[in-house]
Structure 1
């Protein structure tokens, strides 16, 4: 009897294996940092995390926020007059002089390549007038990006017990920075020479400390488009970088690494992300998503933007949409106006919202000629007052819209 049962079980096991492909799922790499993530840049989805929201002092990875605010609030050719404080800052310095005139571009190269603290303070003073005001601007921008465990005190990353961020928050900041047109050009430059200024007779050269973009380095990673290291004795090592492969951009962030393995660990994280996940386009802007049909009214609903999602490479599941139940019969709009939205679910999880635009015009005349209005007129003995109220509402709305457009 036992032999028969064993034979049947063995037969069923072999048979089931012959019917289904078995996909091995790669184990996420072990990393030294106490807080680490892989973020998909297009969707903001975390593909890997280790204590993603635990705040730690980030050292000079802070400077990616300083760079972001600089690129968002200045022109690269703007001239900066150096105050008395930046030249006296602790740590790594370019060697700025009080009263020196230097461009924002030159300061950014010093900031991002060599992690010069005097460049960070000079940019902060140029943008906000003081360190405190710039720190407030840093925190406000971090909050806008969705960073919930961040508090910046300075633009350099010099240790302060109140100066902290998490790996998730750092990746969100890098995500925003990587979208700026000039960032990758600066961050992948091997070296940059700053021409003589009114205070420096000699040119000064800065070298890129990010080994993932150095082709001669054992840590060179093809597709890396920038990164930033950070270290102080109290903060330990931190690192964040961005890389692109086959149209997919990933961001890694590691904070509080006591073993200084962040370059190697970042490569492992990038490889894990690219090998196991793929960015998939669900809709392109302008695609027909569905057609609204109600009361003999037919309106093509069009994707207002591209919509992407990330899935494991062996996953055959597809997202589904939950379209908001809206009555469009009494609304008037033009082609391209957003008239509805859909929540997108993938494997039971809400992965985002897709705005839906109208593919046709829907005018006041069409509303008045619709079956709904005609039925009101024919069937309701109070149709005249109803029509009067309805027409008044349309007139008021039209006037308000005209006034708003012509303000």
Structure 2
């Protein structure tokens, strides 16, 4: 009886360990959030993997999209010259809505105006930047729509740089995620978007502008944000946050004012509790072998390749190995000779270029390759042979001198005896 009891205890312990070892990583998982927002999306920033969506393709009027693209186009025009001064025109001061009360004739740097657009949604700053980039507002709006088409924002149309309401103006959470991912690839934009505060010099005074996204001060890991609305009871919040090497983009659109940050927190919590970013292909690990001529080549990735997946799943649906055509020896380490394409369960495709782990030469061809090179570079070969000959003569002369000295010493010793 005692043995049977012990066996039962052992079986229970084994089952307990198995359950926790297999599912312990997902014990903290939470259900998909119920949001008050009309539309929302959560994406991983590096590859754009969609982690959650709610009506993410629904067309809405989102003022923040206009401000983000306005700031981005200004950054792309200015390049490294962010200190370029912009003179405020009469047209700038006539704009409605949220503004900084810029005055005609005042000058501000491109960088400072972009900060005001992203951090405080200044409409007058947006018009000033539009005139700087496009010359006039309508030309700039055309540029905005050209950029939208370039980025394949298929459900987006702009009619002004400010985001002031126009029924012909719309975008979607999905398109906005594409725009944000592209914008974050610009280091200057990422730096501005991640700023919590900025000094603002205006009319001889120095003020502190703070980012209007309150999650900067209330959620661990937040590293970017923008807010906006056309009607105060329907607000939008864009937030980026990073934990454990995974950066996500949370987009909440048309949420009630009292719920917008709760929605954002729920969405971020869901992402971090249910997903993680890990290594798909480890640096210098042999992924495949390839026979070429009389050699077998180990194929590797020279870098770690990452992907995002639900915790507790490998998330790989399929993979395919392809090689370059007509590969011949020698094959060098810096040559791409193949690729491994991984397809994830969300249909994300990740292609990993594969390289030889070492330079590989044919034992048969090494001598012929050397001879061919010598014939091809005949003049250099002759010069090298002459230099080698001279070096051998010099070595021989040194050896003869040493021998002569040795013989002389031996003769001297024999005479002394």
TM-score range, shorter chain: 0.7 to 0.9
Answer 1 or 2: which has greater helix percent.
Answer: 2
Matched, 1:101 2:101: no
Matched, 1:63 2:67: yes
Q: How does 1:29-40 map to 2 (within 5 A)?
A: 29-40=33-44
Q: TM-score, normalised by structure 1?
A: 0.75
Residue 279 (structure 1) shift: 0.4
Counterpart Cα distance in 1 of 2:233 and 2:248: 25
Where does residue 389 of structure 1 map in the other structure?
none
Counterpart Cα distance in 1 of 2:284 and 2:188: 29
Counterpart Cα distance in 2 of 1:271 and 1:329: 49
Deviates more, 1:127-136 or 1:153-162: 127-136
Matched, 1:86 2:100: no
Maintained 8 Å contact 1:304/1:338: no
Counterpart Cα distance in 2 of 1:176 and 1:94: 28
SS state at 1:278 partner: strand
Maintained 8 Å contact 1:35/1:255: yes
Q: Which of 256, 280, 283 does residue 281 from structure 2 map onto? A: 283
Counterpart Cα distance in 2 of 1:331 and 1:161: 63
* Distance change in 2, residues 1:337/1:140 (3 Å): farther
Residue 359 (structure 1) shift: 4.6
* Distance change in 2, residues 1:264/1:61 (3 Å): farther
SS state at 2:187 partner: coil
Q: How does 1:281-320 map to 2 (within 5 A)?
A: 281-284=279-282, 287-303=285-301, 306-316=304-314
Counterpart Cα distance in 1 of 2:340 and 2:84: 44
Counterpart Cα distance in 2 of 1:152 and 1:227: 21
* Distance change in 2, residues 1:144/1:285 (3 Å): farther
Q: Which of 34, 46, 53 does residue 50 from structure 2 map onto? A: 46
| Cα offsets for 1:146-202 (capped at 9, x unmatched) | 433222222211111222111122122222333433445434544433325xxx344
Q: Which of 329, 332, 352 does residue 350 from structure 2 map onto? A: 352
* Distance change in 2, residues 1:285/1:15 (3 Å): closer
Residue 315 (structure 1) shift: 2.0
Maintained 8 Å contact 1:184/1:225: no
Where does residue 207 of structure 1 map in the other structure?
210
Q: Which of 249, 262, 265 does residue 263 from structure 2 map onto? A: 265
Q: Which of 104, 127, 132 does residue 126 from structure 1 map onto? A: 132
CA RMSD of aligned residues (A): 3.4
Counterpart Cα distance in 1 of 2:142 and 2:328: 46
Residue 337 (structure 1) shift: 3.1
Maintained 8 Å contact 1:304/1:354: no
* Distance change in 2, residues 1:305/1:158 (3 Å): farther
Counterpart Cα distance in 2 of 1:270 and 1:360: 43
Query: What are the ranges of 5 or more consecutive residues in structure 1 without an aligned counterpart?
Result: 1-13, 371-407
Residue 262 (structure 1) shift: 1.7
Maintained 8 Å contact 1:243/1:250: yes
Maintained 8 Å contact 1:305/1:355: no
Residue 91 (structure 1) shift: 0.6
* Distance change in 2, residues 1:153/1:286 (3 Å): farther
Q: How does 1:96-175 map to 2 (within 5 A)?
A: 96-175=102-181
Deviates more, 1:48-57 or 1:15-24: 15-24
Where does residue 237 of structure 2 map in the other structure?
239
* Distance change in 2, residues 1:312/1:101 (3 Å): same
Larger Rg: 2
Counterpart Cα distance in 1 of 2:93 and 2:364: 72
Maintained 8 Å contact 1:286/1:303: yes
Matched, 1:177 2:177: no
Matched, 1:226 2:229: no
Residue 328 (structure 1) shift: 3.3
Maintained 8 Å contact 2:213/2:237: no
Counterpart Cα distance in 1 of 2:146 and 2:199: 33
| Cα offsets for 1:288-318 (capped at 9, x unmatched) | 4322214434344332654221112122565
Counterpart Cα distance in 2 of 1:152 and 1:107: 20
Q: TM-score, normalised by structure 2?
A: 0.73
Query: What are the ranges of 5 or more consecutive residues in structure 2 without an aligned counterpart?
Result: 1-11, 367-417
Deviates more, 1:224-233 or 1:330-339: 330-339
Counterpart Cα distance in 2 of 1:348 and 1:114: 36
Q: Which of 339, 342, 358 does residue 340 from structure 2 map onto? A: 342
| Cα offsets for 1:226-247 (capped at 9, x unmatched) | 2111111399322211011121
Maintained 8 Å contact 1:330/1:367: no
| Cα offsets for 1:54-80 (capped at 9, x unmatched) | 221102343122222233331321111
